[in-house]
Amino acid sequence: MAGLLLRLAGSLPALAAVIVVTFVLTRVLPGDAATYFAGPTASAESIAQIKAMLGLDRPLPEQFWNYIVALFHGNLGMSLTTGQPVLTDLAARLPASAELTLCGLFVAIGIAVPLGIAAAVRQGKMVDHVCRVLVTAGVSLPVFFTGLLLVYVFYFRLSWLPAPLGRLDAFASPPPTVTGFFLIDAAIAGEWETWRSAAAQLILPAATLGLFALAPIARITRASMLAVLGAEFIRTARASGLSGVTVIITYALRNALLPVITTLGMVFSFLLGANVLVEKVFAWPGIGSYAVEALIASDGAPVQGFVLTMAILYVLLNLTIDMVNRALDPRARRGS
C-alpha cells in the first residue's frame, strides 16, 4: 500500500506539468475563441466584450491562477460550443468512450492471446506466419484507415452492419441511465431491441480498435510464451507425462501472464488516444470527438479538461496494473 501511495505522489508532478502545458498551448496556438464565436462580421468592440466576459483580456499569469483556483473547486470551466460546464459534458460522454475502448480491448485480447499462444507452440508453422502478418498489418495500418475500410466493406458493400452514425440507430432510444454503458443499461432494463442496436453499432468501431491493439498483445504473448516454454520446469512437466494442454495452460501461460498484463495497461492507454480518430470516423459521441470539435472552435476549456482527464485515467491505470502485478507476482509483494 505504501508503494502505491508513493507512485500516486510521484504522479502529481506529471499531472501538474500536464496542466501547465495544456494551459499554455491553448493560449498560444493559432485561433481566437472570442473571434470565432463573435462571427466574421462582429465588430472589434463585440470581440473585446466577449474576451472580457471570458477573462481572456487578463494577463496570462492571472488567467492561470484563476484556472488553478477553479480546478481546486472542481470547476473545469464552461464549454462555449455546448454552453454547459466541461465537467458535465465529460461525465456525459466518458461512458461512451469507455464502453468503446473496453470492447475494443476485449476484441484484441480474444484474438491476440490465443493467436500468440498458438504461434509460440507451433513456431515456424502456418499459424506463426499468420500471427506475424496480422501483427505487421496492425502496426502498419493507420487506425482511421482501418475504420474506413471496415465501413466500406461491411456497411457499404455487404450491408451486414448498420450505418456508422453513433451509439444507436435512428429508430432506437437510449436505455435508462444506470452506468452509461448502453449494453449494460439495456440489459438491466430488459430492452433487448435497444441492446441489439447498441451491439450492432459497436461492432465496427470496436473491431477497428481491436485490430489496432492486436499487434502488441499478440507479439508480447508469443515472445513471453516462447521464453517460458524453453524453461527447465516446462521440460520437467512434459517429462512427468502431463498432457500438452495442461503444460501450456497451467504452467506456461500462468508464468507468461505478467508481461502480457503489463502490456494490456499500455495498450489501453494507447486505445484512449486512438479513440479520438475512431470516434470521428464513426460519429461516436465520446470525449475524443468532443475534444476535436472544441479544438476546431478554439474552445480551450474542453481541450484542457479532456487532456487532464486522460492524464488522470493514465495514472489510475498504471496504479491498477501495479496492484494486479503485486497480486500475481509474490516477488513484487516482497519487494514492496
Q: Where are the alpha helices (DSSP H) in 190-253?
A: 192-229, 232-239, 244-246
**Which residues have CB under 8 Å from 41's CB, separation 6+?**
none
Same domain, 201 and 57: no
User: Does 317 map to a domain?
Assistant: no
Reply yes or no on whether the pLDDT at 58 is more than 70.
Answer: yes
Same domain, 109 and 211: yes
The C-alpha atoms of residue 90 and residue 306 are separated, in whole angstroms, by 8
Average pLDDT over residues 18-43: 74
Same domain, 26 and 145: no
Range of the domain at 259: 86-296
User: Does 306 map to a domain?
Assistant: no
Between 179 and 295, name the one with better pLDDT: 179
CB neighbour burial string for 196-214, b if at least 16 within 10 angstroms, e if fewer = ebbeebbbbbbbbbbbbbb
Residue 85, classed as helix, strand or coil, is strand
Please compute, for residue 7, the number of CA atoms within 13 A of its CA located in the half-sphere on the CB side: 15
Reply yes or no on whether the pLDDT at 186 is more than 80.
Answer: yes
Contact of 225 with 256, CB cutoff 8 Å? yes
User: Does 189 map to a domain?
Assistant: yes
The C-alpha atoms of residue 327 and residue 295 are separated, in whole angstroms, by 41
The C-alpha atoms of residue 121 and residue 127 are separated, in whole angstroms, by 10
The last residue of a domain, from among 46, 72, 98: 72
- The pLDDT confidence band at residue 30, using thresholds 50, 70 and 90, is low
For 59, the grid coordinates are 494577463
Other beta carbons within 10 angstroms of residue 13's beta carbon come to 9
| pTM for the full predicted model | 0.84
The last residue of a domain, from among 72, 106, 121: 72
Which CATH number characterizes residue 159's domain? 1.10.3720.10
The last residue of a domain, from among 14, 46, 72: 72
What average pLDDT is seen over the chain? 83
Same domain, 156 and 259: yes
User: Does 51 map to a domain?
Assistant: yes
The C-alpha atoms of residue 316 and residue 323 are separated, in whole angstroms, by 11
User: Does 39 map to a domain?
Assistant: yes
Other beta carbons within 10 angstroms of residue 299's beta carbon come to 25
The C-alpha atoms of residue 271 and residue 215 are separated, in whole angstroms, by 12
Same domain, 94 and 221: yes
Bridge partners of 85, per DSSP, are 78
Looking at residue 4, its pLDDT comes to 62
Same domain, 217 and 137: yes
Same domain, 98 and 234: yes
Same domain, 143 and 64: no
Average pLDDT over residues 37-56: 73
Burial label, 223 (beta-carbon count in 10 A; 0-12, 13-18, 19+):
middle
Of the candidates 90, 74, 94, which has an alpha carbon nearest to the alpha carbon of residue 82?
90
User: Does 335 map to a domain?
Assistant: no
User: Does 307 map to a domain?
Assistant: no
pLDDT tens digits, 236-282: 878 877 777 788 887 788 788 888 888 887 788 778 777 888 888 89
Same domain, 160 and 261: yes
Looking at residue 329, its pLDDT comes to 63
Of the candidates 160, 180, 92, 155, which has an alpha carbon nearest to the alpha carbon of residue 282?
155
Count of domains for the chain: 2
Same domain, 90 and 238: yes
Same domain, 129 and 269: yes
Same domain, 95 and 236: yes
Between 119 and 331, name the one with better pLDDT: 119
pLDDT tens digits, 89-115: 999 999 999 999 999 989 989 998 898
User: Does 309 map to a domain?
Assistant: no
